[in-house]
Structure 1
Amino acid sequence: MIDSYEDALNFIHGRSQFKKIPTLKRMRKLLAELGSPDKKVTAIHVAGTNGKGSTVAFLRNILEEDGYTVGTFTSPFLIKFNERISVNGVSLPDAEILRLAQKLYPVVKKLDQTLPEGGPTEFEIITAMMFTYFAEGHADIVIIEVGLGGLFDSTNVVVPKVSVIVTIGWDHMHILGDTLPKIAYQKAGIIKPNVPVVVGRVDQAPLAVITHTASEKKSPIAVLGADFMAVNPRERNWIESFDFTSESHQINNLATSLIGDYQTDNAAVAIQAYIAYTQQAGKTIHKTSIINGIKKTRWAGRFERVATEPTIVLDGAHNISAVDEVVKLLQNDFEHDQVFILMGILADKQAAKMVKKMATFDKAKIILTHFAGPGKRQAADPKKLDQQLGDLGKEVEVIADWQQAIEQIKPLLNDNDMLLITGSLYFISDVRKYLKVNSK
C-alpha cells in the first residue's frame, strides 16, 4: 500500500531501472490500462545528449510569455524528485505525487503478474505519472524531455506538435552505440511522420542520419547553422547577448544570464521550436515573448554563479561533450588569474578523458573529489582516477572529502580567481544544498 509521499517515492525508486530488451510495448500497455493519457496532451518532445534542460527552460519561458500554461517533464532532478513534473516552473506538490503513485500502483502490480518480463521500470512509471497528470488538463502545452536516447525512451509514445534534437555527443555509449551516427539514430527515433523537427548544432555525420530519418518520415526540418542561427554572441558581466536570424525572422540584442556560445545555440533552438509550434497552431509569433522569455530564463547548475566573493560557479558538465563546451567558455570569456576546478564524476562516465580535457585549459588547477552517487551508481574513486592520468596526475590534487575541499580552496582564491565545481549533476545537487543555494 502507498499511504504517504515517502511510500510513493519508495515504490517508484524501488523499481528496476532497465530491462534487457528495449521496447515501447510495455509502456504502451501501461498507458492503455490508464486510459491512454498520452493521447490527451499537446506536446513538444526534446531529445539530445546535452542542452535539453536549458532548451526546455528557454522554450517554457517563451511560451509562458505568450500566455500559455506550460508543463514540463525533465530529469534528473536537482534538489527534489517533484521537480521532474512541473507547471510554469513550479514542481508538483507532495500530495499530487502521492495521488498519482496511488493511481498507478494497482495497474503496475497487475502488469507485474501478467507480463513475462515483469512490470514497468522506474522511468516508465514516472513517465506514466506525467502523462496521467497532464491529461487531466493542468497545462495548455507540455514540453517533454527524453530520458535516455529517444527511439526506445518511455516518452517516445507521444506524438508531439514539434520534435527537437538539441545536440549529439558522447554519452551512454554502452546503450546507444559507440559512434555518433549510431547515437544520432537513437535520438532521431523521436521524429514522427509529418511532424516538424528542429535540430541544434550537430556534426555532419550524425546530422546526415537525422536528415535522412526526417526525409523518410516527410517531416519538415530546420537545422541550426543552415536554416536559423544564433549570431554575434558576446558575453559581458555574466550576461550573454546574441542575435537570432532565420529566413523569416530577425531578432536582435537577445540577452540571457545562461552564458556560453552553447547556451545561445540552445536559445536559438528553443526560439525556432516556438516559431514552428506557433505556426502550426495558426497563431501569431510575438517577438516580445521571445525577447522576454530568453531574458527571464534561469537554469540551475549550468555555469551558474552562486557566489561573488569569492567567485564560485556550479556546472553539471557530466560527459565529455559538456566538458568540451566548458573549456571553450573558459578560454573565450574568462580572464581569471586561476580557475580552481573541483571535479566529482560518476564512475560510468569517461572520467579520465573528462579530466584530461579540462586540464587543457592552461589556468586550471584541478582537484578530484568523491561524492555519494545516486542509488547503485558509484562516483569515480579520485585516487584511482588520479593514477589513470599518468604524467598529468602530477598537476592534479586529490581531496576525497568534497566539503573539506571547498573549505580548503576558498581561502586560496583572490579577487580574480574562480572556483568551478563540476562533474555529475548529482554532485552539483549535493553542493547546492551544502552552499544553501536557492533553487529558483
Structure 2
Amino acid sequence: MFTTYEEALDWIHARLRLGIKPGLKRMEWMMDKLDNPENKMKAVHVGGTNGKGSTVTFLRSILEAGGYTIGTFTSPYIEQFNERISVNGKPIIDKELVQLANVIRPLADELEETELGGPTEFEVITAMAFYYFANITKVDIVIFEVGLGGRFDSTNIIQPLASIITNIGLDHTNILGNTYEEIAFEKAGIIKEKTPIFTAVKHPGALTVIEEQADEKSAPIYRLNQEYTICGHESLARGEVFTLNTKLQSLEKLELSMIGQHQTENASLAVLAAQYLNEKGLFTVTEQAIRVGLMRAYWPGRFEVLSENPLVIIDGAHNEEGITALTHELSTRFADRNIHIVFAALTDKKLNEMIGKLDHIANQISFVSFDFPRAAKAEQLLNISQSQNKLAVDNWQSYLLEEMKMLEANDMLVVTGSLYFISEAKPKICKFLKNITISL
C-alpha cells in the first residue's frame, strides 16, 4: 500500500526495467480484472510518428472551447509526471496518482506470477488512465495518444469514435520495422471497423498501407491533399495562419499560437475529427469553438519560446522528422541569428541523420549527456558531428546557465533532442530565466 506520492512514482518508474513489451494480452488481463473500464468512455485515438501530442492538444482545446470536459492520456511528460493523465489540460493531483497506483499494483503483482509476466511502466500508466476516467473522474470524451506503434500498443484496446494517424517516419525501427510501409502497417493497427480514420501521411507507400487497412475495415478515410487541403499558410511571429478546405466547408485564416508549419497539419486533423463528431451529432462543435480552440492550444516543449531576450527556444525534436521540422523553422525564421544548439538524444535514434541536419543550421553545437537508461553519451554524439564549432559537455545544468548568461543580442539558444531530456532541462532553464527577470 503506497502512502506517499514518491513511493507510488518510484514503483511506476521501477517498471522501466521491464523495457518495451508490445502486445495486448497483459492489458486485456488487467482490464478484465477491473471490469473493463475502457468500454465505459467515449474516446478518440491518436497515433503517428510525430505530432501526436500536438494533435491531441488541438482537439482537446477545440472541444473544451465548445464547453465539454475532456480527458487526455499522453506521453512522455514535459513538466510533471501527472500531466500524462489530465482533465481539460490540468494534470491529476498527487493524491489521485497514489490512489491509482494502489489499485493497479495488486494486479501487477498477480500478473507477474503468470506466464504473461509483469506489466511494463507504460502498461501500468495506461491501466491507471482507463480506471481513472471510468471510475474517478467522468469526462465527456477521452483522447488517447498511442505510446509506440499502434497495433500492439497498450492503448489499442479501445473502440474509439474516430482514429487519427498524423504522419509516418522511420522511428523505433528496431521494433516497428525498417521501412515506411512496415511502420505504417503497425500504425494502421489502430484503425477499427467502420470507424473513420483521419491522416496527414504523405509518404506514398505508407499511405497505401493505411488505405488498404482502412478498406479492409470498411473505415472511411480522410487524407491530406485529397479529402482536405491546406492553403494560404503564413508564419506569424508567434504562430501560424492557414486556410483549411474540406468537403463540408472552407475555414479561412485559422490562427495557431503554436509555432511551425507542420502544426497546420496537426491542427487540421483535429478540426476534421471535431467536425466529424459534430456532423454525427455526438458533440456540438461550432466554427467559433474551432477558432478559439486552435488559438488557445498550448503544448509544452514544442518549438516553445521560453524567453525573447535572451532568445531561448526549447523543442522536443527527438527523431529525424522532428529535427527536419525544427531546422526548417530555424532557417526560415531566424536566418539572421547566431544559432547555438544544445542537443541530447537516445541511442536508438538515427543519430547520423539528425546531427547532420543540426550541423548544417548551427553556428555552434554542444552535445550533452543526461541520466536516462538509453541516453547517448556526449562524446558519442560529438564524434558523429562534422561541425567546425562543436563541444561535448559533462554537466549540462551548469553549462546551460553559463551559456544563457553569455548570449548577445543576435544570439539564440536552442535546446533540443530527447523529450526525456527536455523534461529535465525546461524547469532548470525557466528557473534561471525567472531569476534574470527578477534581478533586472
- Structure 1 residue 34: Cα displacement: 0.5
Q: Does 1:426 align with 2:420?
A: yes
Q: Is the 8 A contact 1:64 1:293 kept in 2?
A: yes
- Matching of residues 136-215 of structure 1 within 5 Å: 136=135, 137-215=137-215
- Structure 1 residue 231: Cα displacement: 1.6
> Partner amino acid for 2:123?
E
Q: Does 1:401 align with 2:395?
A: yes
- Structure 1 residue 265: Cα displacement: 1.0
Deviations 1:73-109 (A, max 9, x none): 0000112211110000010011111111112222222
Could you tell me how far apart the structure 2 residues matched to 1:224 and 1:42 are? 25
Q: Is the 8 A contact 2:382 2:390 kept in 1?
A: yes
SS at match of 1:119: coil
Q: Is the 8 A contact 1:315 1:422 kept in 2?
A: yes
- Structure 1 residue 165: Cα displacement: 0.3
Could you tell me how far apart the structure 2 residues matched to 1:219 and 1:63 are? 23
- Structure 1 residue 303: Cα displacement: 0.5
Identity %: 40
- Higher alpha-carbon deviation: 276-285 or 414-423: 276-285
Counterpart position of 2:365: 366
TM-score in terms of structure 2 length: 0.93
Could you tell me how far apart the structure 2 residues matched to 1:149 and 1:90 are? 26
> Partner amino acid for 2:129?
M
Q: Is the 8 A contact 1:201 1:265 kept in 2?
A: no
Could you tell me how far apart the structure 1 residues matched to 2:108 and 2:39 are? 20
Counterpart position of 1:107: 107
Could you tell me how far apart the structure 1 residues matched to 2:18 and 2:268 are? 34
- Structure 1 residue 26: Cα displacement: 1.7
- Structure 1 residue 365: Cα displacement: 2.2
SS at match of 2:178: coil
Counterpart position of 1:73: 73
Deviations 1:249-302 (A, max 9, x none): 211121112111101111111111111222233554410000000000111110
Counterpart position of 1:60: 60
Deviations 1:34-55 (A, max 9, x none): 0000000100000011100111
CA RMSD between the two structures: 1.8
Counterpart position of 2:437: none
Counterpart position of 2:436: none
Q: Is the 8 A contact 2:365 2:387 kept in 1?
A: no
SS at match of 1:232: strand
- Higher alpha-carbon deviation: 277-286 or 326-335: 277-286
Q: Is the 8 A contact 1:12 1:122 kept in 2?
A: yes
SS at match of 1:186: helix
- Structure 1 residue 319: Cα displacement: 0.5
Tell me which of 356, 364, 378 is aligned to 1:382.
Answer: 378
- Structure 1 residue 344: Cα displacement: 1.3
Which residues of structure 1 form unaligned runs of 5+? none
Q: Is the 8 A contact 1:336 1:418 kept in 2?
A: no
- Structure 1 residue 19: Cα displacement: 7.0
Counterpart position of 1:124: 123
Q: Does 1:90 align with 2:90?
A: yes
In structure 2, the CA distance between the partners of 1:20 and 1:267, relative to structure 1 (3 Å rule), is closer
4+ long deviations beyond 4 Å: 16-21
> Partner amino acid for 1:330?
L
- Higher alpha-carbon deviation: 83-92 or 330-339: 330-339
SS at match of 1:360: helix
In structure 2, the CA distance between the partners of 1:128 and 1:407, relative to structure 1 (3 Å rule), is closer
Q: Does 1:338 align with 2:338?
A: yes
Q: Is the 8 A contact 2:359 2:387 kept in 1?
A: no
In structure 2, the CA distance between the partners of 1:25 and 1:358, relative to structure 1 (3 Å rule), is same
> Partner amino acid for 1:187?
K
- Structure 1 residue 162: Cα displacement: 0.3
Q: Is the 8 A contact 2:199 2:269 kept in 1?
A: yes
- Higher alpha-carbon deviation: 287-296 or 98-107: 98-107
Counterpart position of 1:316: 316
Could you tell me how far apart the structure 1 residues matched to 2:237 and 2:79 are? 28
Could you tell me how far apart the structure 1 residues matched to 2:350 and 2:19 are? 24
Which residues of structure 2 form unaligned runs of 5+? 433-440
- Structure 1 residue 3: Cα displacement: 2.3
Q: Is the 8 A contact 1:163 1:191 kept in 2?
A: yes
Q: Is the 8 A contact 1:358 1:364 kept in 2?
A: no
> Partner amino acid for 1:45?
H
- Higher alpha-carbon deviation: 423-432 or 16-25: 16-25
SS at match of 1:394: coil
- Structure 1 residue 388: Cα displacement: 2.9
SS at match of 1:312: strand
Q: Is the 8 A contact 2:363 2:389 kept in 1?
A: no
Could you tell me how far apart the structure 2 residues matched to 1:364 and 1:247 are? 45
> Partner amino acid for 1:172?
H
Could you tell me how far apart the structure 1 residues matched to 2:83 and 2:20 are? 28
- Higher alpha-carbon deviation: 284-293 or 350-359: 350-359
- Structure 1 residue 205: Cα displacement: 0.7
- Structure 1 residue 313: Cα displacement: 0.3
Deviations 1:116-160 (A, max 9, x none): 132322211111111111112521100000011000000000000
- Structure 1 residue 209: Cα displacement: 0.4
Q: Is the 8 A contact 2:63 2:285 kept in 1?
A: no
